[in-house]
Amino acid sequence: MQGQVDAINLVDNALGRVKMSSLVFAGMIKRKLGMRVAINVSCRDRNRFALLSDLIGAAALGIDAVIALQGDKLPPDGSAGARPVNDLNTFGLLQVMADLKRGDTGEGKRPLQTLPAWVVGAVGNPYRQNLAQEFDLLRRKAAAGARFVVTQPVFDASTALRFNDEAKRHGLKVILGILPVKRGAMAVYMRDKISDLSGAAAHFDRYAEMDETSTRQASREHSLQLMDSLASSVAGFNVMSGGGPSLAIELALAWRQRRRQ
């Protein structure tokens, strides 16, 4: 991806599954490849002090953007072996970020000597069933200091544009999530199990009976056409690797090539 994409977006123990610290991995990417990096910071796993510590560390490492989110729910059966912290909610975390941008650590006489250069972001769901609630969340996130929003995956232009128009009303730039589908089983799982994407059920139905080769090809072409139709309206795209890294890389490279033509 070096020289082919504008930035790498690193999630934070997504789906409640433990991975390497996104902050550590971001530092490795910056040092080894010199690529721009955005990290997701979840309220779920850390208290206020730990969040502050990581945010100050992100500033020291030259991380380019920090995205505040509550974090996915942990498995209800306790199989993750952990309990959520949620000392802050998303709005509290955004406020902490805004304070740090001014040098205020919340510790009175101990201001930051070097202000963070990272840009503050948040997340959004264009398919939320209660859109009025989603739009109110956008307003509150912007008021708390967010400057851009990265969305859950979108699969149709009308949903994306409706969300983008509302976000722009609040001064937010939109990075649309683009998730290529690898196989029919993945489409069925997302249709039946991911409630946040219930509004995209018709999109997933088209892949349910396809073989993997046909699904990859059809999803890649659909994603490229969608990106083409939206490129002039939104700030950018976040190509997601839920369908497998190779498919995400293939789509990102194809989009880059198309934009250079």
Mean local confidence (pLDDT), 69-85: 76
Q: By the 8 A CB rule, do 238 and 9 touch?
A: yes
Q: By the 8 A CB rule, do 124 and 175 touch?
A: no
* Mean pLDDT for the chain overall: 92
pLDDT score, position 78: 62
Beta bridge partners of 124: 151
pLDDT score, position 208: 85
pLDDT digits (tens, 9 = 90+) for 205-222: 999 889 999 999 999 999
Q: By the 8 A CB rule, do 258 and 231 touch?
A: no
Helices vs. strands in the chain: H and E counts, helices first: 9, 7
Model confidence at 90: pLDDT above 70: yes
pLDDT score, position 19: 87
| Cα(123)–Cα(176) distance, integer angstroms | 10
Which range (2-11, 103-112, 181-190, 251-260) has the least confidence?
103-112
| Token pair in block for residue 257 | 């090539």
| Cα(25)–Cα(69) distance, integer angstroms | 19
Model confidence at 240: pLDDT above 70: yes
Q: By the 8 A CB rule, do 80 and 74 touch?
A: yes
| Token pair in block for residue 98 | 């805004």
Q: Which CATH architecture has domain 8-179+233-242?
A: Alpha-Beta Barrel (3.20)
Mean local confidence (pLDDT), 81-100: 90
Which range (1-5, 53-57, 70-74, 252-256) has the least confidence?
70-74
pLDDT score, position 108: 66
Q: On the CB side of 200, how many CA atoms lie within 13 Å of its CA?
A: 29
Angle (nearest 5°) at CA 163 between 242 and 145: 90
pLDDT score, position 143: 96
Model confidence at 15: pLDDT above 80: no
pLDDT score, position 230: 98
Grade residue 28 by pLDDT with cuts at 50, 70 and 90. very high
Domain boundaries, the chain: 8-179+233-242
pLDDT score, position 111: 76
pLDDT digits (tens, 9 = 90+) for 113-168: 788 999 999 999 999 999 999 999 999 999 999 999 999 999 999 999 999 999 99
pLDDT score, position 34: 95
pLDDT score, position 80: 62
pTM for this model (two decimals): 0.93
What is the secondary structure of the chain as a DSSP string?
-TTTSS-EEE-SSGGG---S-HHHHHHHHHHHH---EEEEEESSS--HHHHHHHHHHHHHHT--EEEEE--PPPPTTSTT------SS-HHHHHHHHHHHHTT--SSSS---SS---PEEEEEE-TT-S-HHHHHHHHHHHHHHT--EEEEEE---HHHHHHHHHHHHHTT-EEEEEE-----HHHHHHHHHH-GGGGGGHHHHHTTTT--HHHHHHHHHHHHHHHHHHHTTTSSEEEE--TT-HHHHHHHHHHHHHHHH-
Which range (65-74, 106-115, 129-138, 236-245) has the least confidence?
106-115
